[in-house]
Copies of this chain bind each other. A is one copy, B any other.
Amino acid sequence: MLAAIGVSSVQEIFDRQIPREVRLDRPLDLPDGQSEQDVYEHLRALAARNVSAEDELCFLGAGMYDHYVPAIVDMLMERSEFLTPYTPYQPEISQGGLQVMFEYQTAICELTALPVSNASVYEGPSAVASAGYLAKLHNNRSRFVVSAGLHPHTLATLRTYAHGYGIEVVEVPLSGGVTDPEAWAEAIDENTSAAIFAQPNFYGAVEDAAALSAAAKAAGGEQLVTIAQVDPIALGVLAPPGECGVDVAVGEGQSLGNRLDFGGPSFGFFAARESYLRRMPGRIAGETTDVDGRRGFVLTLQTREQHIRREKATSNICTSQALNALAGVVYLSWLGRQGFVELGELLLRRTNYARETLCSLDGVAALHSQPVVREFAVRLDADVAAVRRRCAAAGVNPGADLHALTGRDEDRGGLLVAITERRSRADIDQLVEVLGQAVAAERRGGESGRRVEVGASA
């Protein structure tokens, strides 16, 4: 090969192009390569030092949830034809991926009752920040009014982005577990670019989405963009954002057939009203026909995108989450029209059963009394960290430490408990027992966690 190139060595190819001064004159300081079995053992040893939802009874949620991922999702994601192609730049040989995007968009539109969806964005919180950018492009106003009920990661991400594109973020507090209606109406005016809330909110409470949207439009006018970050699984029982006056509905798609993966990759979904179509970020698959009249699919409305519009693009996103979105639409097809609702209703009932039984414990009280669908917040009359440690010792992860996540004083003692279809009544009862003993022990002033373990293994 060197002969064909006309060089005497590979080195020469580099020597002729890269100045000596910027060449690395030593080997990289990295371990040597290993055989496949050794790398496997190394990665397995690392995995063994994580306590996963396979290893303990896990009630963690707060944005990502331990739902059961059906085997067909893995099987399809692992097919070379879906796993290894690049973004479908050549539609004639990418109809599989393009049709999946089209189907995914259809499913998201159905879930949200909104007419347009893109083919996925990175994940939940940055989806909200991108929705904010859409609002800025749409009305070029100066302020976002956001509910304190948004996920703390969403608030943080939105602030980071908004500082970049130069928009002020004003936070509206909660009252009684949901966005304070007065403060909300108060904060919004004709300089408000977008009004943003979560459904259900971070504390698990179901917001009155229709009321919040209406109030926002009333105070900010039609140009204002109402944005909701919604939990797709909750939409099995909750009125869809499209029917609640929401302009743009975005959210975290992990619950839909994606693994936990310690936080990613998953996907963000992004749906909106027709009028925002040409300001959407990311890929959109559209239907068309080929020269022989066959139905086919292409990436469409690309004039929104960076590779065409460059500095005028509606977003800088390029590589997105196609494979995770495939998992999403396969999962939704697996659940099916009825199953999707059945699942929501099962979670609704189990979650309320869990909240009731937990709150019947001494030292455990509901943090709010709003309706909840799949997650709820309680306040412990004990040190949350200590209680969680005791539960962990008994093989139970009782949920997330609210204060650790929000840093809000009013969240001290708060515990956010998530329920999935993998958590049976028996699991919930075990949580109640273990948490009850942990709280009791802590309130007695923290003797050893042994009694908790005994309790748990009973």
Contact = CB atoms under 8 A, between A and B. Distances in A.
The binding surface of chain A is classed by DSSP as loop
B68 A36 contact: yes
A421 B421 CA distance: 42
Contacts of A75: 78
A40 B78 CA distance: 19
Contact of A37 (B40, B78, B79, B421): B421
Interface residues of A, number: 11
A71 B421 contact: no
Contacts of A71: 36
A99 B71 CA distance: 29
A307 interface: no
Interface in A413-444: 421-422
Contacts of A91: none
A44 to B, nearest CB: 8
B36 A422 contact: no
Contacts of A422: 37
Contacts of A264: none
A80 to B, nearest CB: 8
Interface of A: 36-37, 40, 68, 70-71, 75, 78-79, 421-422
A117 to B, nearest CB: 28
A234 B307 CA distance: 57
Given A37-B68, A78-B78, 8 more contacts: A36-B68, A36-B70, A36-B71, A37-B421, A37-B422, A40-B68, A75-B78, A79-B79
A68 B40 CA distance: 10
Pick the 10 closest A-B CB pairs, nearest first. A37-B68, A36-B70, A37-B422, A37-B421, A75-B78, A36-B68, A78-B78, A36-B71, A40-B68, A79-B79
A79 B70 CA distance: 17
A198 to B, nearest CB: 28
Contacts of A36: 68, 70-71
Nearest to A79: B79
Contacts of A37: 68, 421-422
A68 B37 CA distance: 6
A105 B68 CA distance: 42
